[in-house]
Structure 1
C-alpha cells in the first residue's frame, strides 16, 4: 500500500502543483474559501431547521413557524452563495495582478447581476434567488474571470480620470476606476441585450439548455443511472451543482419509479424497480451528501495529522452526519482539486453498482417508495428507505466502508501534503 501511495504521489502531486500555480484555478480556490465561513453558517442552520421527523413531533403550524424563523439563515448564505464566490474570485484575481482588488470583486458581482434575469413570474425588478446560488455558479465563475480580465485590460490602457493633487486617496481611486468599470460592465450589458433576442433569452438559459440536452435521451436503467451519477460528480468537480443540472432531467423519471414502488409496497406486491428517487437519495446522497463525504470525515478522524484537516473535520463533522457536506466540498476542497478527482468520481460509481446488484438479487429489499427526509443520518436512512429493513441499514454501512477504502490512499496523500506545508510554515 505504501508503494501504491508513493506512485500516486509521483503522478498526482506534480500535476497538482502545476495547476495550483495557475492564476485562474488559484483565484477559483481562494474565491470559494472566501465564501466558506458563510457556507458553514448556512449548513448548520439547514440541519437545525430540517432535523429528521421534527415535523411529526410539532404541530403543522408550530413546525412552519419554526422553519420560517430559521430559514433566513440559509436563505441569506447558501441560497445566494454564488454571489460570495463571484466577489471572492474577482477580488483574488485582481489582487493577483496587483490591481485594486475590491473593484475587481464588485465589478464581477455587478457583471453577473447584469446577466442575471431580473423578473420572476411576470414581475419585473425581481431577481430569483435560485439564479444567485448554486444554479448560477458556473455562469458566475466565467463572469468573474472575464470581468476581472476586462477590468485589468482597461486599467492597463491607462483609461482613467486623473484627479489633481490634494484630493483624498479614496476619492481619487474611485474616479480612477470609473472608466474601466464602465467599459467592463458595458460589455456585459451588450451580451445581455444580444441574448435577449435569441430563443434562450438569457445567458443562464443558454448554458443550462446546452448542458441538459445531452441528458434528455437517457433512460432509467443501471447504465443511465451510472451516467447520471458520473455527470453529477464531474459537474461538482468543476464547481457546477450536479444535482440541479442532472436531477432536473432525471427527477421526473426517478419520482415516477418511486411512486410505482410505493403503490406496490402499500399493496403488498413485489416492488418493480431498483432505481428510484430514494435509491439515489438514500444510498448515494444519504451517506454524508453528494459524493458520500461522510467517509472522508471518518477518515479525517482516523488518519488525519494536518491541522487543516483536523479543523475541517471538526467543522464539517456535525453537518456531515445529517448529509450536509458543503464544508467538505469547499473546505477540503473538492472543486478543481486534482488530488481528489479519482476517488470523487470512482466511489459513487462503485457504490451504485454494489447497491443495484444487492437489491436486484434480493439480498437487500428494493426502495419501498417512502420519501425519507434527506437529513436522516446513515443507517436509519437505509432502514426507512427499504421499508424498515435492517438490511438497508447494513448496506449503507457496508457502502461507507467501501468508500473509505477507495478514499484512504488519496486522503493520506492530501493529509501528508498539508502536514508538510504546515511544518514548513512553522519552521
Structure 2
C-alpha cells in the first residue's frame, strides 16, 4: 500500500469517529463540566503543595507544623476534596444549556439528584455525607446522575408540564415556578431509584456504580496498555487536525481524576501512593513538556540543527508559547498535521516517554504523582517538581524525557529541515537568475 493510500485509509477510519466524539453532546457537557470545576481544583491543589512544602516539618516544631497544615487544610477540603459537586453542577448546567433551557436549573437539579442517590450515613450516624463520595470517588455516579437528571428535566419542560404565572409577575419568580414541576418530577424519579436500590444486594446506587462500572474502568485506566492506547489516539487525532486532547480526555478524565484523588488522599495521609497513571501523570509528563506530542523538544532541536529560514523563524515564533505548553504554532507551522515525514516521531515519542516514566516510577526512581493538580501551563521542571509532591526527581524525569524526545525527532527534523533549506536555495537561485535576465534585457 503506497503512502497516500495508507493516509487515505487512516483518514477515512479516524475522522468520522473523531467527528462524532467531538460533537457528542454528552462528551461535550462532560468536558465543559470539568472546565467549570478546574479553577477550584487548581486553587485547592496549590494549597496542598504549600501545606506540604519540603523541609517545613524539620524547620517547625511538630505542634507548629500541625497547626500550619490545619490552617491551610480548608482550602483543599472545600474545593479539591469535593470536586465531584462542581463537576456535577457544570455538566448539568452545560447539557441543559445545550438544549436551549436555563442552565442553572439543570445544574441544581443534577446536584440535588446526586445527593438523593448518595448515602447519608457515616459510621451509623445519619444525616452525614462522607466527603469522600463528594470527590472523585463519587464522580462516576455524579456523571450518570447529571446526564439523566438533565434529560428528565428537559423532557418534562418540553411536555409543557409547568406552572404558568400570570402577566405582571416578576420574571425571576415566573421562571422559578415554571421549573417547579419539572424539578419535582425529576427528583421523584431519583428518589424511587434510591428506594429500589435499598432492596438490592448493592444497597445503594453508589455501590452499584462503583462495583459494576467504576472499579473495572479504574483498574483498566490505571494500566500501561490502556494509557498507551489513549496517548496514541491523542496523537492520531491531532495528526488529522482534530484536538486529540479534548476528544480523548472526555472519555478518560473521570478515570484519571479518580486515580488522582486516591493518590492525593494517600499523600495527605503520608501513606504509599497507590497509582502511577493519574490525571497529573498525563498532564505533567506528556502534555506538560511543550503541549501534546511534547513539542518543546522540537523547538530545542530547531535552535540546535535548524538551517532553513522557515524552520528558524518557526522556532522563534513557537518558543515563548511552547515554554507554557502551548504548541499550536509548531503543530500548524512545521506542520505536523497531515505531514507523513513526522508521523513516526509524532506517534513514537509520547509512547516511549510514557513507558520510560512508568518504569521509573514503578521501580521507585521517581515518586508517583502526589495527586495535586498543577496548571497545565506550568513550565517543564517546575511542573514535574510540584506534581510529584515537591520532588526534584520529578523535574529530572521531565528533563531526561526531553532529551529522549529530541533523540527520536532528530533524524526526522533533519530531513524536513534539509527539504526546506534546499527549496529555499532553489527559490533564491531562480530569483537571482530572473534578476540577471532582467538586467540584461
Give the TM-score, by structure 1 length: 0.62
Question: Structure 1 residues 215, 381: closer, same or farther in 2, change over 3 A?
Answer: closer
Deviation at residue 70 of structure 1 after TM alignment: 0.8
Superposed CA RMSD in Å reads: 5.0
Tell me how far apart the structure 1 counterparts of residues 366 and 351 of structure 2 sit (CA, whole Å): 27
- Residues 314-393 of structure 1: matches in 2 within 5 Å? 346=351, 350-351=355-356, 354-355=359-360, 367=364
Residue 54 of structure 2 aligns with which residue?
A: 52
Q: Could you tell me whether the CA contact under 8 Å between 1:347 and 1:406 is conserved in 2?
A: no
Residue 424 of structure 2 aligns with which residue?
A: none
- Residues 138-157 of structure 1: matches in 2 within 5 Å? 138-157=140-159
Corresponding position: 1:239 with 2:253? yes
Q: Could you tell me whether the CA contact under 8 Å between 1:81 and 1:133 is conserved in 2?
A: yes
Q: Using the TM superposition, name which of 36-45 and 76-85 deviates more.
A: 36-45
Deviation at residue 129 of structure 1 after TM alignment: 0.9
Structure 2: gaps of 5 or more residues: 232-247, 300-314, 327-346, 373-381, 411-441
- Residues 73-222 of structure 1: matches in 2 within 5 Å? 73-211=75-213
Tell me how far apart the structure 2 counterparts of residues 406 and 174 of structure 1 sit (CA, whole Å): 60
Tell me how far apart the structure 2 counterparts of residues 77 and 151 of structure 1 sit (CA, whole Å): 27
Q: Could you tell me whether the CA contact under 8 Å between 2:163 and 2:177 is conserved in 1?
A: yes
Structure 1: gaps of 5 or more residues: 219-223, 253-258, 260-276, 315-341, 360-365, 409-427
Q: Could you tell me whether the CA contact under 8 Å between 2:96 and 2:102 is conserved in 1?
A: yes
Residue 62 of structure 1 aligns with which residue?
A: 64
Q: Could you tell me whether the CA contact under 8 Å between 1:235 and 1:241 is conserved in 2?
A: no
Among 279, 282, 293, the alignment partner of 2:284 is: 293
Q: Return the index of the structure with the highest Cα Rg.
A: 2
Deviation at residue 17 of structure 1 after TM alignment: 3.7
Question: Structure 1 residues 129, 313: closer, same or farther in 2, change over 3 A?
Answer: farther
Q: Could you tell me whether the CA contact under 8 Å between 2:289 and 2:398 is conserved in 1?
A: no
Q: What SS class does the counterpart of residue 293 from structure 1 fall into?
A: helix
Q: What SS class does the counterpart of residue 200 from structure 1 fall into?
A: coil
Q: What SS class does the counterpart of residue 239 from structure 1 fall into?
A: helix
Deviation at residue 231 of structure 1 after TM alignment: 10
Question: Structure 1 residues 153, 202: closer, same or farther in 2, change over 3 A?
Answer: same
Deviation at residue 299 of structure 1 after TM alignment: 1.2
Give the TM-score, by structure 2 length: 0.60
Deviation at residue 65 of structure 1 after TM alignment: 0.8
| Structure showing greater relative contact order (alpha-carbon pairs closer than 8 Å, 6 or more residues apart) | 1
Q: What SS class does the counterpart of residue 289 from structure 2 fall into?
A: helix
Question: Structure 1 residues 19, 278: closer, same or farther in 2, change over 3 A?
Answer: closer
Question: Structure 1 residues 403, 187: closer, same or farther in 2, change over 3 A?
Answer: farther
Tell me how far apart the structure 1 counterparts of residues 124 and 409 of structure 2 sit (CA, whole Å): 48
1:25-81 CA-partner distances (Å, limit 9, x unpaired): 111111111112112211211111111232222111111111111111111111111
Q: Could you tell me whether the CA contact under 8 Å between 1:42 and 1:77 is conserved in 2?
A: yes
Deviation at residue 179 of structure 1 after TM alignment: 0.8
Q: Could you tell me whether the CA contact under 8 Å between 2:284 and 2:387 is conserved in 1?
A: no
